[in-house]
Amino acid sequence: MNEILAAVSPDFIAELVTNVLKLVMIIAGGVFTYILVPFAKNTVIPWLKEKHLYDIVKKFVQAAEKMGESGIIDKQTKKQFVIDMLKSKGVNVTPEVEALIESAVEELDEFKFFVDELEDAEE
């Protein structure tokens, strides 16, 4: 047995290790493609789309609020303005999207309350 090991050259061992590492990388790539890509497609991508939609909803809510304050639109029609803007951008307004609108309004109200508290504290 020692004679066999002594006959193996260092170049052969280096090539063997290189080939084994290549095989491990190929297997890891297959696992990545088979498991992680579908996970990302089913979990991460919808979350990113929802996050992007919420950002758009927030901008429309802020615009409606500003337009309501300046009198360009009636304060009672601000939500309808947001819905109309979303529809014009091709967004299907579902109950979930309406919940996002309400959430954005609540977030804006909380921000305004926080700003008002800071202004009161400075006085």
DSSP state of 93: -
Q: How many Cβ atoms sit within 10 Å of the Cβ of residue 83?
A: 18
Query: Which among 85, 119, 81, 79 has a CA at the least distance from the CA of 102?
Result: 79
**Neighbouring C-alpha atoms within 13 Å toward the C-beta of 29:** 6
Q: If 0-12 CB within 10 Å is exposed, 13-18 middle and 19+ buried, where does residue 84 land?
A: middle
Answer whether residue 2 is part of any domain: no
Residue of higher predicted confidence among 64 and 123: 64
Answer whether residue 5 is part of any domain: no
Domain count, the chain: 1
> How do residues 62-92 score in pLDDT, each as one tens digit?
999 999 888 888 878 888 999 999 899 888 8
Range of the domain at 18: 11-122
Contact indicator for 57, 84 with CB cutoff of 8 Å = no
Mean pLDDT of the chain: 83
Instruction: Categorise residue 71: left if φ over 0, alpha if ψ from -120 to 50, beta otherwise.
Output: left
Contact indicator for 97, 91 with CB cutoff of 8 Å = yes
Answer whether residue 80 is part of any domain: yes
Answer whether residue 6 is part of any domain: no
Answer whether residue 22 is part of any domain: yes
Answer whether residue 1 is part of any domain: no
Answer whether residue 42 is part of any domain: yes
Q: Over pLDDT 90: what percentage of the chain?
A: 20
Residue of higher predicted confidence among 6 and 52: 52
d(CA 98, CA 60) in angstroms, rounded, equals 13
Whether residue 19 is predicted with pLDDT greater than 70 in this model: the reply is yes
